[in-house]
Copies of this chain bind each other. A is one copy, B any other.
């Protein structure tokens, strides 16, 4: 009889795992019986695309779906939506689920369990935080709820938290015509960058007409009969017809915790590099901790790109092949208003916190040869270890064609290059694409000189 595989969570990690497991097993002439359950309405969608749907660049949530339930079913995966896993028994090998459509409980036995339960938005622990009109944005269903709330009377939005999701949502709401205030605890927005670069993000937000309130902690939400009416902070009270939370997420691992599975300090599941948690139990995506090759430590970094890769590795191994997830270096980027921003590895603040002897340099250059029209400003900040010269991290802020250059730094971190060697690598140059020394290499050269 074919092994029964049960997948909890039908988004990127879970469905990548399921598809790859079937593909791998089939190539080896084996059958798998795969069931995937999800409490929501959707499969395999781009959660990262939600702000672009809300902002109007994407017409419908369906456009964000990479593969529909029907397509997965045609590939031999038994997808059950509106079906919520509520308990796991790893000893007996079953999962208890509630079928919300039929209103009944079931137990599904399994031989192999895949946990891909994702992450859940954090809510500030202050009065009123559960009021209507306050939205975390993590799932397509969340995105739908925000859109349903928007309309004629909804004019003022407050976004709490100026990280990736907060800023992308703030921009989306400006584009919907709302008046938007962004409040954040840190001295500058985007505190995954050093504050000296955060000031550029701050200015870009103001250029787009946002009201930016920094160093402000939320102390309460004021509410009325219709739900939230204002966000109260220690730097003032801001009226709100809608509130969006960009205050981070936590791994959605309550089920796994209750089942006694191993969790790290972040609450994420601990896997080995095959994505295995325990005998017959696997996990991938936003619910796991990931090995950071630069920090040499486990971290929780909920990003679709890791979820997809981990899901594929998981599926290969579950299906009888061999693959390993080699970790991450902490790369991320986004576009906020007219500014692109990116980071990888450690910021200067991270290096200080880790007690590493280091140098940090910042350079200003242009995205193409300065004599061409369309040459835009770009700032690159680079941190290197002293005395080894090993690159520790990089940050980029600039206009069009800036941020994706972070990939070169990510590759350098991956292979532990020194800044001296990075300055001499063979990067592509032609006037419409770069200065003759790529901005990344100008920064690396300056860091090497400083060492």
Contact = CB atoms under 8 A, between A and B. Distances in A.
Interface of A: 12, 46, 48-49, 52, 57-58, 63-64, 164, 303-306, 308-309, 313, 325-335, 340, 342, 344, 369, 371-373, 401, 403-408, 410-412, 414-415, 417, 421, 423-434, 436-438
Contacts of A407: 405, 407-408, 427-428, 438
Contacts of A371: 46, 49, 52, 58, 63-64
Please give me the 5 A-B residue pairs with the lowest Cβ-Cβ distance, nearest first. A411-B411, A305-B429, A415-B415, A333-B428, A63-B371
A308 B423 CA distance: 11
A423 B316 CA distance: 14
B436 A304 contact: yes
A421 B326 contact: yes
19 contacts: A48-B436, A49-B371, A49-B431, A164-B430, A303-B429, A305-B426, A308-B436, A309-B423, A309-B424, A325-B424, A330-B426, A333-B428, A334-B432, A335-B430, A335-B433, A404-B428, A404-B434, A407-B427, A410-B425
A430 B168 CA distance: 11
Contacts of A334: 430, 432
Given A46-B371, A371-B63, A436-B46, A333 B430 contact: yes
A412 B436 CA distance: 21
B373 A429 contact: no
Given A49-B369, A308-B437, 9 more contacts: A57-B373, A63-B371, A309-B424, A333-B429, A333-B430, A335-B433, A340-B433, A344-B428, A404-B405
Q: Which of A12, A403, A410, A426 has the most CB of B within 10 A?
A: A426
A66 to B, nearest CB: 8
B52 A427 contact: no
Nearest to A335: B432
A410 B431 contact: no
Given A305-B436, A371-B63, A411 B425 contact: yes
A406 B438 CA distance: 13
A369 B403 CA distance: 16
A431 B305 contact: no
Contacts of A433: 333, 335, 340, 403-404
Nearest to A45: B371
A449 to B, nearest CB: 10
B305 A427 contact: yes
A325 B424 CA distance: 7
A331 B401 CA distance: 19
A332 B427 CA distance: 8
Contacts of A325: 424
Contacts of A425: 410-411, 414
Nearest to A411: B411
B308 A428 contact: no
A426 B430 CA distance: 26
B405 A408 contact: no
Contacts of A429: 48, 303-305, 333
Contacts of A404: 401, 404-405, 428, 433-434
Nearest to A310: B424
Nearest to A53: B371
